[in-house]
């Protein structure tokens, strides 16, 4: 305190060229900051352009319902004034649907090419996510509402369909007379929706946008989320159990042997994923190596034996063809194969930490009177925690989004959320739902990271 006051009393400290030291220091600091910023600018732009932007834009689809609202503005406006949603809406709403269809159908892009037809087609796909059947109902109605000349591809005017529409539409397709179709519009009426997220946890909107459960036979995602967590946790735990002793050996054995051991760890790591999966299939399938071995080498004993206390007992100790254990194309298969595949992700971080633990600590502990076990538990394990934490986080994060292994060996009850994301992306084209599930995965991983930081501290995380 006294130092500063002395400086202050003598005026600011100056550099050789008369600039106050403080300013000069600030300038040079800023210069070095700019320099380091310029250095990371390229990777930063790279990450922004190729990672954050595309992922962000895809994730934004999980709430985006602007599209359908642009196609059916009048319809959704009418929906707001539809009072009793348990009976069919009035003629105005039927007319609004036809108006929206006709306006959209004529739309052209800047090059004068008609895009309206495809806009309606896309809408049909979107609406089918809310209620089965919308697609064909909409397309059928588009055809009736807007007759097109086959040759010139231009609309025939005047329209053959004139108001009032209600009866005509119901006559054309009786589904227009079903109130469920109209009610399902409620879930789409806002440009931003939580519907995809609800869908991803087996909930949905009803006609008044209240959140309700889906019908029982359509509830699938909760099961899959729970299973994804279960598989990831189990794989992490099994990896830890297997990896800890291996890492310990790697870190403590003499170089000559540990190098050999390291190669055994890395060899599968370098082998193609598919090769390893197929190898497991051959090992574990119903007529695979493991089951065949059980059947042929396990002793088979069957018959009556005179046991003490029990008397004559029929004993069947056979491992026959019917006892073959199903280990592939199910939950067990997914766990076994994923554990093997992810094992190096656990071994390597733990090993790198263990390598840095001086052996003298253990000796010191024992010199001070600890038994080897106690020394190991009190001295060695706490020091290896950063590696264990890193390994667990790494394995868990990789496991939670796993796709290819469950796809190939998961069968009926080994599929994970990644497989469903892929299904929505590829097959049903419901990218909103896929994006919602992706966002939830991302949040789960970030939450895990936060919890880790809170309890163990991210500074303790050491990857190597």
Partner 1 sequence: MKKVISKTLIAGAISTAMLAGAAQAAVTLVSWGGGYSASQQKAYIDTYSSGEVNMISYNGGLGEVRAQVESGNVQWDIVDVLPSQARTGCDEGLFEELDRSLFLPAPDGTPMDEDLMVDVPNDCVVPQIWWSYVPFHLADTFKGEQPSTMQDFFDLEKFPGKRGVHTWASAITEMALYADGVAIADIYDVLDTQEGQDRAFAKLDTIKDHVVFWSAGAKPLDLINSGEVSMSLAYNGRIGGAVLNDGADYVTVWDGQVLEEEWLVLVNGAPNRAAAIHFLIHASATEQQAGQAHWINYGPMRPSALPLMEANEPWFNTGVNIMEHMPNTDEHMKGGILADPDWWADNGQAVNDRYAAWMAN
Under rule CB under 8 A, how many of the chain's residues touch partner 1?
Answer: 44
Polymer length in residues for the chain: 464
Of the candidates 82, 59, 58, which has an alpha carbon nearest to the alpha carbon of residue 189? 82
HEC sequence for 410-458: CCCCCCCHHHHHHHHHHCCCCHHHHHHHHHHHHHHHHHHHHHHHHHCCH
230 lines the binding site for partner 1 (CB under 8 A) = no
* Residues within window 126-155 making contact with partner 1, judged by CB under 8 A: 128-129, 132-136, 139
For partner 1, give the closer residue by CB, 408 or 436.
Answer: 408
313 lines the binding site for partner 1 (CB under 8 A) = no
Give the one residue of 11, 427, 454, 455 binding partner 1; rule: CB under 8 A: 427
Helix (H, G, I), strand (E, B) or coil at 164: coil
Pairing of strands 302-307, 211-213: unpaired
Of the candidates 104, 140, 128, which has an alpha carbon nearest to the alpha carbon of residue 188? 128
Whole-number Å distance between alpha carbons of 403 and 318:
38
In a 13 Å sphere around the CA of 436, the CA atoms on its Cβ side amount to 22
In whole angstroms, the minimum distance from the beta carbon of 334 to partner 1 comes to: 13
Give the one residue of 415, 435, 436, 441 binding partner 1; rule: CB under 8 A: 415
293 lines the binding site for partner 1 (CB under 8 A) = no
- Backbone angles phi and psi of 425, in degrees to 5: -70, -45
Whole-number Å distance between alpha carbons of 380 and 376:
5
367 lines the binding site for partner 1 (CB under 8 A) = no
For residue 340, the tally of other CB atoms under 10 A from its CB is 19
Per-residue mark of binding to partner 1, 321-360 (x: CB under 8 A): -------xx-------------------------------
Stretch that binds partner 1, among 62-70, 185-193, 285-293, 297-305 (CB under 8 A): 285-293
In whole angstroms, the minimum distance from the beta carbon of 145 to partner 1 comes to: 16
Per-residue mark of binding to partner 1, 169-208 (x: CB under 8 A): ----------------------------------------
Q: Helices 431-455 and 417-426 sit at what angle, rounded to 10 degrees?
A: 150
426 lines the binding site for partner 1 (CB under 8 A) = yes
Give the one residue of 247, 285, 339, 340 binding partner 1; rule: CB under 8 A: 285
Buried b (16+ CB within 10 A) or exposed e, 293-310: eebeeeeeeeeeeeeeee
429 lines the binding site for partner 1 (CB under 8 A) = yes
220 lines the binding site for partner 1 (CB under 8 A) = yes
Peptide bond into 164 cis (omega under 30): yes
Stretch that binds partner 1, among 3-11, 79-87, 118-126, 356-364 (CB under 8 A): 118-126
Give the one residue of 334, 420, 438, 461 binding partner 1; rule: CB under 8 A: 420
Residues that bind partner 1 (CB under 8 A): 115, 117-118, 120-122, 124-125, 128-129, 132-136, 139, 217-220, 223-224, 227, 285-288, 328-329, 407-408, 411-413, 415, 420, 423, 425-431
């Amino acid at each position: 305190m006294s130092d500063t006051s002395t400086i202050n009393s003598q005026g600011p400290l100056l550099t050789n060229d008369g600039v106050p030291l403080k300013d000069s220091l600030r300038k040079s600091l800023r210069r070095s900051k700019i320099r380091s910023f310029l250095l990371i600018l390229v990777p930063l732009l790279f990450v922004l352009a190729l990672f954050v932007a595309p992922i962000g834009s895809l994730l934004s689809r999980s709430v985006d319902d602007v599209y359908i609202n642009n196609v059916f503005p009048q319809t959704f406006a009418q929906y707001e004034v539809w009072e009793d949603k348990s009976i069919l809406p009035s003629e105005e709403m039927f007319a609004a649907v036809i108006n929206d269809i006709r306006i959209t159908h004529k739309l052209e892009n800047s090059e004068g090419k008609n895009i309206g037809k495809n806009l309606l087609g896309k809408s049909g796909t979107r609406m089918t996510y809310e209620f089965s059947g919308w697609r064909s109902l909409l397309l059928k109605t588009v055809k009736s509402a807007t007759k097109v000349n086959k040759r010139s591809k231009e609309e025939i005017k005047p329209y053959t369909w004139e108001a009032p529409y209600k009866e005509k539409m119901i006559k054309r397709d009786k589904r227009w007379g079903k109130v469920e179709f109209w009610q399902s519009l409620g879930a789409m009426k806002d440009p931003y929706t939580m519907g995809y997220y609800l869908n991803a946890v087996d909930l949905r909107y009803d006609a008044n946008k209240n959140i309700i459960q889906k019908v029982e036979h359509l509830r699938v995602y909760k099961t899959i989320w729970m299973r994804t967590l279960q598989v990831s946790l189990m794989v992490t735990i099994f990896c830890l159990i297997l990896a800890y002793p291996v890492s310990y050996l790697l870190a403590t054995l003499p170089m000559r042997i540990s190098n050999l051991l390291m190669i055994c760890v890395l060899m599968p790591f370098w082998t193609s994923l598919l090769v390893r999966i197929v190898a497991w299939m051959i090992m574990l399938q119903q007529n695979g190596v493991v089951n065949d071995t059980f059947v042929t080498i396990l002793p088979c004993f069957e018959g009556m034996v005179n046991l003490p206390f029990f008397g004559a007992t029929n004993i069947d100790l056979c491992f026959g063809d019917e006892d073959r254990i199903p280990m592939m194309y199910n939950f067990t298969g997914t766990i076994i194969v994923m554990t093997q595949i992810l094992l190096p992700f656990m071994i390597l971080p733990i090993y790198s930490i263990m390598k840095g633990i001086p052996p003298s600590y253990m000796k010191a502990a024992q010199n001070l009177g600890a038994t080897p076990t106690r020394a190991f538990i009190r001295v060695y394990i706490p020091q290896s925690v950063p590696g264990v934490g890193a390994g667990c986080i790494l394995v868990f994060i990789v496991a939670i989004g796993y796709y290819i292994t469950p796809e190939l060996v998961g069968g009926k009850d080994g599929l994970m959320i990644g497989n469903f994301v892929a299904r929505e992306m590829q097959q049903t084209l419901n990218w909103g739902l896929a994006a919602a599930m992706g966002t939830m995965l991302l949040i789960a991983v970030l939450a895990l990271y936060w919890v880790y930081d809170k309890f163990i501290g991210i500074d303790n995380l050491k990857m190597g």
